[in-house]
């Protein structure tokens, strides 16, 4: 996912002056609501909710919004919608395999919007199971390399997390990804906290077995498709098996 992460990092810098910030807030709040509904409103007994709240706080979602989402999800306050998770599978430009995770209160709307976005932007939906076998469910913790005057190294992360179950550390430039089995996610995140290392997010993700390296033209087309999909209210997460070099990323940014 390094290509996507580099691109997402670049995009995140522009988010403060971008109208998409409100949409991002809405998705983070929806995530909290669903986590509270699934496992209750007590973060000490619901690590999924804990991680959803931490991610929202890192993205500057106001505490009042977070608290209300927990209350709606846990039933302490009325007004929560019934969301269901749907995973769509497909291919983007250059044959990139894509998993599109939706959290929706209207499956028909979600299906129509995802299909339209794919077909209008060089992608196509595929049959269930035809793409997902290319990915593995993993725990991924994203750690910023610069933290309050301290530079975090790959060795720091390995030392802190190996015994907790970390399998791999990917250097993405400004951040690291600490990858583990999804069942070890909480242990790895807890080990980082115990070592005094801050993190941006900790969540279960789909990590591809192999990646397709893209040129600037294909990367530009794929990023446009991802942009359109991420703009849909129902789309919660995207996973894709591609990578781009720093040189290609610079070309795409320049266009």
All structural domains of the chain with their residue ranges = 2-74, 84-133+210-254, 134-208
Say yes or no: do domains 2-74 and 134-208 share a fold. Answer: no
Phi, psi (5° rounding) for residue 125?
Answer: -80, 155
Asked whether 254 and 247 are in contact (CB, 8 A), the reply is no
Residue tagged 């077995």 (tokens) = 209
Residues 6+ apart with CB under 8 A from 30: 69, 83, 103, 236
- As averages over each run of 10 residues, the pLDDT of the chain (255 residues) reads 50 55 87 91 91 92 93 80 90 95 94 96 94 94 90 94 94 91 95 93 91 92 92 92 87 80
What's the confidence (pLDDT) of residue 22? 79
Separation between Cα atoms, residue 41 and residue 126, nearest integer Å: 37
Encoding tokens for residue 61?
């979602």
What's the confidence (pLDDT) of residue 11? 53
Separation between Cα atoms, residue 20 and residue 33, nearest integer Å: 20
What's the confidence (pLDDT) of residue 80? 64
Architecture label for domain 84-133+210-254? 2-Layer Sandwich (3.30)
Asked whether 226 and 100 are in contact (CB, 8 A), the reply is no
Asked whether 141 and 186 are in contact (CB, 8 A), the reply is no
Residues 6+ apart with CB under 8 A from 77: 68, 71
DSSP 103: E
What's the confidence (pLDDT) of residue 5? 54
**E strand spans, 33-72:** none
What's the confidence (pLDDT) of residue 17? 53
Asked whether 180 and 158 are in contact (CB, 8 A), the reply is no
Beta bridge partners of 77: none
How many residues appear in the chain?
A: 255
What's the confidence (pLDDT) of residue 3? 47
CATH level 3 topology of 2-74: Arc Repressor Mutant, subunit A (1.10.10)
Asked whether 208 and 134 are in contact (CB, 8 A), the reply is yes
Residues 6+ apart with CB under 8 A from 98: 89, 90, 91, 92, 123, 131, 238, 239, 240
Give the strands of the sheet with 235-240, arranged side by side: 124-126, 84-91, 97-104, 235-240
What's the confidence (pLDDT) of residue 1? 43
What's the confidence (pLDDT) of residue 2? 44
What's the confidence (pLDDT) of residue 62? 92
Residue tagged 């939706």 (tokens) = 102
Distance of CA 19 to the CA centre of its chain: 19
CATH number for the segment(s) 134-208:
3.30.70.980
Separation between Cα atoms, residue 150 and residue 252, nearest integer Å: 31
Residues 6+ apart with CB under 8 A from 148: 198
Encoding tokens for residue 224?
């446009």
């Amino acid at each position: 996912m390094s290509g996507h992460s580099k691109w997402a990092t670049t995009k995140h810098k522009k988010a403060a002056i971008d109208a998409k910030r409100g949409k991002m807030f809405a998705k983070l709040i929806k995530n909290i609501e669903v986590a509270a509904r699934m496992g209750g409103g007590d973060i000490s007994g619901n690590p999924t909710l804990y991680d959803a709240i931490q991610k929202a706080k890192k993205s500057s979602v106001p505490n009042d919004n977070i608290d209300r989402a927990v209350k709606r999800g846990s039933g302490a306050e009325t007004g929560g919608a019934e969301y269901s998770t749907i995973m769509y599978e497909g291919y983007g430009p250059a044959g990139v395999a894509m998993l599109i995770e939706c959290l929706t209160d209207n499956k028909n709307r979600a299906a129509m919007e995802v299909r339209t976005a794919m077909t209008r932007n060089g992608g196509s939906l595929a049959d269930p199971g035809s793409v997902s076998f290319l990915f593995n469910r993993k725990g991924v913790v994203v750690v910023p390399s610069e933290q309050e005057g301290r530079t975090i190294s790959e060795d720091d992360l390995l030392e802190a997390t190996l015994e907790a179950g970390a399998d791999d550390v990917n250097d993405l430039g400004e951040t690291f990804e600490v990858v583990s089995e999804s069942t070890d996610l909480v242990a790895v995140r807890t080990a980082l906290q115990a070592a005094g290392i801050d993190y941006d997010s900790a969540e279960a993700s789909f990590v591809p077995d192999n990646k397709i390296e893209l040129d600037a033209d294909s990367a530009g087309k794929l990023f446009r498709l991802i942009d359109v999909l991420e703009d849909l209210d129902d789309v919660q997460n995207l996973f894709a098996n591609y990578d781009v070099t720093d040189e290609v990323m610079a070309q795409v940014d320049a266009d």
